[in-house]
Chain A
């Protein structure tokens, strides 16, 4: 499967990408350079073969490229972009982590920030127990260790 190509005006140059599970994608340069990694590659001149991305699977790469395309569109308004982002990041935890790792690996600052804000929103307002439940975090403190930490933070953790 190859991804949709951009309908916008462009230089016409495309980059070929290959995900870790061997899916290939063709993407306009103007869209790909949302990722700092591709930006440098484009500036330095890139070979003809597809760029291998051993750390990103096809499904996630498809999503990321879709986001990049939307954000590279010059006619879209800020309102529409915000609405799009809100819908885009409303995904389950597994997808969210894949997006975080991909945005980090591909160095796409805005997407990374969007995903981090979503996680932060999932943490906000919850007690430590609730946070542990939401994310399946195992409490590996001994009761004494935990007491010590609580004492140190006593001020912020008060009633």
Chain B
């Protein structure tokens, strides 16, 4: 039975909007109902899939230049005809034009197309017009910035340049400028004339030196990333909830202090000092998500927050100490050195730790174990390592130090370069010292995830026989004494399976069964 055709028109149109335009058009031949749905469906996308489908350079290199030009003209004719038809269609929901071209004469063609679709009250507009000539830009027609109906505007690769008559984007909710050229004056005007804006994204742009936003009561989310000439960011937006910044090219002054409603703050490659951080952080009482990465001026930070739920501290290479007091923190991700660390986070559910490259000697292991012990209360802990070798704790240390993660229930080791990693049973041996009573142990890499599920027998009294693992000093009973059953998944190599089987049977004193490691033993 054909139920799909009976779906209400808006649902069918939503499905069509998720298909590339050429395929959407094809559905109009399926049946009368589908033809009807398509003709009432005002979404036009002339993007790479559209142009590539018919105008691919790679397929036939024997195609002569006149032949290719003819194809291109056919393509453009079709697009223009379609636009003319839709010009009278008040309310095109979505229009996308993404194209790159050499021939400067085509610019006026695209000007004309843009004129047509602006006549039809388009709501969501995506324009990416790239000139394939060095340092030349397509100049965006000013009318785009005065389009009253536009609610979503994404512009890429073009140039917004003075003079523009009247900038007025009264319906604009979402603005995205990617790799465009925009001058300070125009941006200031733009920002002052879109009162309904909720979401702003400025990435990879040139020309703009100063990103200043005042007022804009509906603005909730701002992303400012890797803009080449940006020197200053000034936000006075009371209702701003999310701010993300990345500054690959040059140091930039950032002032967000007035944004008291901030819930999410992500700073990457930001030239912020300890003082900036502490001054700003105290201004955001509602902050729930904080991410600081590659902020190389930070040395010593203290984070104290009631609301903070997620924290990320990565590659801030000059950090020497961190103090965190966050009773609501449930997720933590860290990439850095084994620095002195103080953590108050009783609600911590998952932690992800990646120790950066360093000289791996006894002192490092001692520091590493001390660092890990701060995360003992985390339910799930993920350790990231290039080869896993730095997670193999030397035996001498195991006798004198306390296992750091004896309370962790689920431990995962993620290995980035599995071909260079050490043997699985070596890793398992060390991980089971680090966390002597886990429920599950995962070793994940590009080749899959090896899973070990451990089932223990409840012992009524502590066994006093020594097992040389120093477990008497730990408040829980280590696996050697109470492990009864193991369920293993995804351990496939024969030698691996043999070694692991031997390892478990040798060490687990009351082991009864191992599932999933069938070997000749």
Contact = CB atoms under 8 A, between A and B. Distances in A.
A74 B32 CA distance: 45
B7 A140 contact: no
Interface string A137-159: 11111000010011001011110
Q: Is the interface of B mostly helix, strand, loop or mixed?
A: helix
Interface in A22-46: none
B4 A139 contact: no
B360 interface: no
A141 B11 contact: no
Interface in B15-30: 15-16, 18-23, 25-30
Contact of B30 (A75, A113, A137, A155): A137
B5 A137 contact: yes
A86 interface: no
B330 A75 contact: yes
Contacts of A94: 3
A9 B54 CA distance: 55
A149 B33 CA distance: 13
B19 A112 contact: no
A101 interface: yes
A91 interface: no
B1 interface: yes
Nearest to B74: A155
A131 B30 CA distance: 8
B31 interface: yes
A74 to B, nearest CB: 8
Contacts of B27: 123, 128, 131
Contact of B22 (A131, A132, A141, A156): A156
Interface string A37-57: 000000000000000000000
B26 A156 contact: yes
Contact of A128 (B11, B18, B26, B331): B26
A136 B29 CA distance: 14
B74 A150 contact: no
B277 interface: no
B409 interface: no
Contact of B14 (A75, A112, A136, A150): A112
A124 B20 CA distance: 8
B19 A124 contact: yes
Nearest to B379: A75
B211 to A, nearest CB: 28
Interface of A: 74-75, 77, 93-94, 97, 100-101, 104, 112-113, 116-117, 119-120, 123-125, 127-128, 131-132, 135-141, 146, 149-150, 153, 155-158
Interface of B: 1-5, 7-8, 10-11, 14-16, 18-23, 25-32, 34-35, 54, 74, 78, 309, 330-331, 349-350
Given A120-B16, A149-B28, A158-B54, 19 more contacts: A94-B3, A97-B4, A100-B7, A125-B23, A128-B29, A128-B30, A131-B27, A131-B30, A135-B2, A135-B4, A136-B1, A137-B5, A137-B34, A146-B29, A150-B29, A153-B26, A155-B54, A156-B22, A156-B26
